[in-house]
Amino acid sequence: MMKTINYLKGDATKPEMVGNKIIAHICNDIGGWGKGFVVAISKRWKEPELSYREWYKSGENFNLGEIQLVQATSDIWIANMIGQHKINQNLNGIPPIRYEAVEICLKKLAEEALSLNAVVCMPRIGCGLAGGEWEKIEQIIIRTLIHRKVGVYVYDFE
């Protein structure tokens, strides 16, 4: 039986299921961290932001479509996924989200989740500051995570 996305009300930084969990979110490709969901992550853990900033400074594989997994607790990892180009719409009104990059990130995330025997928890990634459309992101999640039988929990903040 094909899994489906589980929609929950609550805080994606406080997943309550038992076992390993990866909290996934979209980052930009210019090293900016300070608005949106990352604020909630930084309030709970310092390491994901520090690791992201170090990754940006190093310049090593800091590109669209890359991911960085940062262990936050014994059973929680944060997936910093670069799926956003810059932070504002371009002159043609195209939002910063890059769906192709999100898809590449989520394919890599599926491998990590399977190797850790983890579920993936997230807000509606790419649909806030990045300006993405949930209908498109949802289809990418189904293609990359659900088809690989990775459990996915999407949180809508109450």
Mean pLDDT across 66-78? 98
Residues 6+ apart with CB under 8 A from 141: 5, 106, 152, 154
pLDDT digits (tens, 9 = 90+) for 103-145: 999 999 999 999 999 999 999 999 999 999 999 999 999 999 9
Q: Where are the domains of the chain?
A: 6-156
pLDDT digits (tens, 9 = 90+) for 5-42: 999 999 999 999 999 999 999 999 999 999 999 999 99
Q: Which fold has domain 6-156?
A: Leucine Aminopeptidase, subunit E; domain 1 (3.40.220)
pLDDT of 1: 53
Is the entire prediction scored with pTM above 0.95? yes
- How many whole angstroms separate alpha carbon 11 and alpha carbon 9? 7
What residue type is assigned to position 39 of the chain? V
pLDDT of 158: 80
